[in-house]
Amino acid sequence: MVLVGAVPPLMLQTAANPHGTPLSVFDGIRDGTAKNRSQFFFDLTVPFYGFNRDGVASNDGLRENFRRIGLQGGIKGQYDCIREFSEVDYTEDLKRIDRPTLIIHGDDDQIVPIDASAHRAAELVPNATLKVYPGAPHGLAETEADRFNADVLSFIRS
């Protein structure tokens, strides 16, 4: 199993999960999804790919493609999914994984903070291997494609 920039165990900030994201952020995602999806998806590309970081050049093709893919999804499913990736606690599910698992996460992921996700998931999943990509954003499968593909292929072959 490979988890890439994955949200488990829990994204929502709670007393037991202080590194999580405040509910107001997810309410903003719901608002953007419901009222102006096209602009929401386009704006999301900036933190998703780290285009707001010093030395990182924006890529208009990548941004437009992200928006295109986002708009192909159904609004109802996307809206309902927000609760699933933000408020559902997957701790027990992670503990039950019984296959070797590779967890890949960028340490500059502005969408899914690494402390609330990958670090915790790596502690919960038996036989997990955590690979942290220094300076990488949430969209590291595209921004770090060569390294990402090589790591996944090596894991599959092992």
Q: In this structure, are strands 101-106 and 2-4 parallel, antiparallel, or unpaired?
A: parallel
DSSP 63-97: HHHHHHHHHHS-HHHHHHHHHHHHH---HHHHHT-
- Give mean pLDDT, residues 127-149: 97
Query: How does pLDDT run across 53-80, given as a tens digit for each residue?
Result: 999 999 999 999 999 999 999 999 999 9
Order of strands, sheet of 101-106, starting from the edge strand that comes earlier in the sequence: 2-4, 101-106, 128-133
Query: How does pLDDT run across 28-52, given as a tens digit for each residue?
Result: 999 999 999 999 999 999 999 999 9
Give the pLDDT of residue 19. 86
pTM of structure? 0.93
